[in-house]
Amino acid sequence: MSQISLKNINKIYKNQEYSLNALRDLNLDIEKGEMIGIMGKSGSGKSTLLNILGLIDQPTSGEYQIDGKIISDYTPKEIAHLRNKKFGFVLQDFALIERYTVVENVKLPLRYSDVPGVERMPKVYNLLEELGLYEKKDMLPGYLSGGQRQRVAIARALINDAEIILADEPTGALDSSTGKEIMNLFLKMKQKGKTLIIVTHDKEIADYCDRIVTIHDGSI
């Protein structure tokens, strides 16, 4: 049983004016602990796929299974819980809250978790230490470099012990050597047993992955 299994997934975006088939009969299985790169031209459906994988959006048809369980059998509340517990998201523009310090940004997802209050700060500090950010803990994101900002975003994605990291162009706003630094961090996460799904259009970045799948017009 794969950790993730997509069968004949279709996603149609529709309104009065148009209807667009963003994913077409897409099939994909991902094993636990895999680091997979998703490549494809702009508009090919990569972000749509990532949003469906991360339970942010739902397919129009097809079946999505996580750990052998069919997602469409869950209630919206169960889906929200699964999303918070299972997935960590890393985006190209970091999506940090600029008026919050590094610590406050990383701590944010714990609000929705069942980690007891007294364990929260030690957990945040440990993770910041591990990602080489401890000295920056009380700074606002605006004072950090791009690579440091992305590491804060990665810490935030990991604080809930997510098993699966979904990254949409995580190195897109970084120079090439900082991008490689981030990929090495992802490799470290992989060694700890995390599953990583990384969208990129950079072949050099994709080469860090165990496997690359390419999307054309919504299919692999």
Ligand X SMILES: Nc1ncnc2c1ncn2[C@@H]1O[C@H](COP(=O)(O)OP(=O)(O)O)[C@@H](O)[C@H]1O
R_g (Cα) of the chain, nearest Å: 17
Q: Is 92 a binder of ligand X (CB under 6 A)?
A: no
The Cα 66–Cα 18 span in angstroms is 32
Instruction: Tell which residue, 94, 34, 44, 17, has the closest CA to residue 220.
Output: 44
Q: Is 22 a binder of ligand X (CB under 6 A)?
A: yes
Which of 16, 42, 75, 177 is in the footprint of ligand X by CB under 6 A? 42
Picked from ligand X, Mg ion, none, the partner binding residue 3 (CB below 5 to 8 A depending on kind) is none
Nearest-approach distance from CB 165 to ligand X, in angstroms: 17
Q: Is 127 a binder of ligand X (CB under 6 A)?
A: no
Cα separation of the two ends of the chain? 20
The Cα 215–Cα 220 span in angstroms is 5
Q: Is 46 a binder of ligand X (CB under 6 A)?
A: yes
- Residue closer to ligand X by CB (options 105, 200) is 200
Query: Nearest-5° angle of CA 206, CA 157, CA 77?
Result: 115
Which of 43, 132, 161, 203 is in the footprint of ligand X by CB under 6 A? 43
Which of 3, 44, 47, 92 is in the footprint of Mg ion by CB under 5 A? 47
Give the footprint of Mg ion on this chain (CB under 5 A): 46-47
